[in-house]
Amino acid sequence: MAPSATPDSPPATPISDNEENSLQPFFVLHKGVPQISERKASGPGKTRRKICLSPTSPTAAEKSKVDVVDEEDGHQYKQLRIEAFDLVWSRIENTIKDVLREINISVFDEIHSWLRQCFSTIRSSGTPGVSEITRSYPLFTDLTCRQIFTGLVFTRNVEFVDDLLTFQELGEHLKSCGCHVCNLSSLDFSTKNGLGGCLRSLLRRLVMVTPETADIAILASWYCEEGNCSPLVVIIDDMERCSGSVLAEFIMLLSEWVIKIPVILIMGITTTIDAPRSLLPSNALQKLCPCKFTLGSPAERMDSIVEAVLLKSCFGFTVGYKVANFLRNYFLKQDGTVTSFIRALKIACAKHFYMEPLSFMARGFLEDDSQSFWSAKCVHLPEGVLKCAFDLPSCEKNKMAEETSENLANGLSDLKNSVKNWASVVLCLYEAGKFQNMLLLDILCEALDPALCNSNALDNHVEIGNDSAKPSSLDHYPLGGQYAGLRKGSFISQAVSRVRDLPLVPLSQLLKNWRKQSKEITELQDKVKELQSMLKHEENGKSLTRAAADTLKRPSRSAWNMEKDTKTVNDKAARLMLYMVRKYLKPIECVPFHEIICFKLVDILQSTLIGDPRRRIQLDLLNSRNYLQCNCCSKSGDAILPSMHDTSILYTLAQEHGDLINLHDWFQSFKTIVLQPITKGKQKVKKSPSSKKGKYMNDSQDTSEALIQARFCRALTELRITGLFRMPSKRRPDFVQRVAFGL
Binding to other proteins (CB under 8 A) within 204-223 occurs at 207, 209, 211-218, 221-222
Q: Identify the three-state secondary structure at position 154.
A: strand
Find all residues with CB under 8 Å of 114, minimum gap 6, and list them: 151, 291, 293
- Of all helices (H) and strands (E), which one includes residue 552? helix 522-552
Residue number with CB closer to other proteins (261 or 562): 261
Distance CA 502, CA 715 (A): 68
Binding-site member from 60, 124, 227, 274 for other proteins (CB under 8 A): 274
Q: Which of 30, 34, 72, 114 binds other proteins (CB under 8 A)?
A: 114
Q: Which is nearer to other proteins, 207 or 559 (CB)?
A: 207
Give the separation between CA 307 and CA 301, rounded to whole angstroms: 10
The answer to whether 242 touches 275, Cβ cutoff 8 Å, is no
Segment interacting with other proteins, rule: CB under 8 A, options 119-127, 169-177, 424-432, 610-618: 610-618
Q: Checking DSSP bridges between strand 263-269 and strand 232-236, what pairing results, if any?
A: parallel
Determine if 257 is a binding residue for other proteins (CB under 8 A).
yes
Cβ proximity to other proteins, 102 vs 705, nearer residue: 102
Taking CB under 8 A as the criterion, the residue among 164, 279, 578, 654 binding other proteins is 279
Residues 339-378 that bind other proteins (CB under 8 A): none
Q: Are 719 and 729 spatial neighbours (Cβ–Cβ below 8 Å)?
A: no
The answer to whether 276 contacts other proteins (rule: CB under 8 A) is: yes
**Which residues, 6+ apart, have CB-to-CB distance to 198 below 8 Å?**
184, 188, 189, 246, 250
Q: Binders of other proteins among 130-169, rule CB under 8 A?
A: 131-132, 134-140, 142-144, 146-147, 152, 154, 156-160
| Spatial contact of 57 and 51, defined as CB atoms under 8 Å apart | yes
Q: Which stretches of 185-297 are assigned E, i.e. beta strand? A: 232-236, 263-269, 288-294
Cβ-Cβ contacts under 8 Å for 38 (sequence gap 6 or more): 47, 50
Stretch that binds other proteins, among 53-61, 93-101, 125-133, 700-708 (CB under 8 A): 125-133
506 binding other proteins? (CB under 8 A):
no
Cα three-residue angle 736-742-743, rounded to 5 degrees: 75
Q: Should residue 56 be labelled a site residue for other proteins when binding is judged by CB under 8 A?
A: no
Among 42, 334, 404, 466, binds other proteins (CB under 8 A): 334
Residues 23, 107, 559, 685: which binds other proteins (CB under 8 A)? 107
Q: Does 41 bind other proteins (CB under 8 A)?
A: no
| Residue 285 within binding range of other proteins, rule CB under 8 A | yes
Q: Which is nearer to other proteins, 154 or 354 (CB)?
A: 154
74 binding other proteins? (CB under 8 A): no
Alpha carbon distance 578, 349 (integer Å) = 32
Contact 497, 595 (CB under 8 A): no
The alpha carbon of 255 is separated from its chain's Cα centroid by a whole number of angstroms, namely 40
Question: Could you tell me which stretch among 268-276, 475-483, 531-539, 590-598 binds other proteins (CB under 8 A)?
Answer: 268-276
Q: Which is nearer to other proteins, 615 or 645 (CB)?
A: 615
The Cα 570–Cα 566 span in angstroms is 6
> Of 627 and 741, which has the nearer Cβ to other proteins?
741
Would strands 660-662 and 735-738 be described as parallel, antiparallel, or unpaired? Answer: antiparallel
Query: Residue 72 or residue 612: which is nearer to other proteins going by CB?
Result: 612
What's the closest the beta carbon of residue 727 comes to other proteins, in angstroms?
7
Amino acid (one-letter) located at 391 = D
**Residue 655 binds to other proteins (criterion: CB under 8 A):** no
**205/420 with CB nearer other proteins:** 205
Among 445, 596, 649, 653, binds other proteins (CB under 8 A): 445
Q: Select the span of 102-110, 459-467, 473-481, 643-651 touching other proteins (CB under 8 A).
A: 102-110
Q: Report the candidate in 669, 665, 632 with the shortest Cα–Cα distance to residue 649.
A: 669
Q: Which of residues 304-333 bind other proteins (CB under 8 A)?
A: 322, 325, 329, 331-333
Q: Which is nearer to other proteins, 256 or 530 (CB)?
A: 256
User: Where do the H-state alpha helices sit in 177-211?
Assistant: 194-206
Q: Does 651 bind other proteins (CB under 8 A)?
A: no
Element at 661 (helix H, strand E): strand 660-662
- Sole window of 173-181, 274-282, 452-460, 632-640 interacting with other proteins (rule: CB under 8 A): 274-282
Q: Is 663 in the site for other proteins (CB under 8 A)?
A: no
567 contacts other proteins (rule: CB under 8 A): no
Beta bridge partners of 183: 235
Helix (H) or strand (E) holding 381: none
- By CB under 8 A, which span of 105-113, 524-532, 689-697, 703-711 interacts with other proteins? 105-113
CA 80 to chain centroid: 28
**CA triplet 62, 66, 70: central angle to 5 degrees?**
170
Residue of 190, 193, 297, 417 that binds other proteins (CB under 8 A):
297
Report the site for other proteins in 221-240 (rule: CB under 8 A): 221-222, 225, 238, 240
> Minimum distance between the CB of residue 581 and other proteins, rounded to whole angstroms?
17
Binding residues among 612-641 for other proteins as defined by CB under 8 A? 612, 614-615
Helix (H) or strand (E) holding 735: strand 735-738
Q: Which of 58, 262, 268, 336 binds other proteins (CB under 8 A)?
A: 336
> Which of 721, 560, 584 minimizes the C-alpha distance to 651?
721
Would you say 490 or 668 has its CB closer to other proteins? 490
**Helix (H/G/I), strand (E/B), else coil: 148:** strand
Nearer to other proteins, 662 or 704 (CB): 662
| Binding-residue pattern over the window 712 to 731 for other proteins, x denoting contact by CB under 8 A | --------xx-x--xx-x--
732 binds other proteins per the rule CB under 8 A:
no
Return d(Cα 376, Cα 364) in angstroms, integer: 10
458/456 Cα distance (integer angstroms)? 5
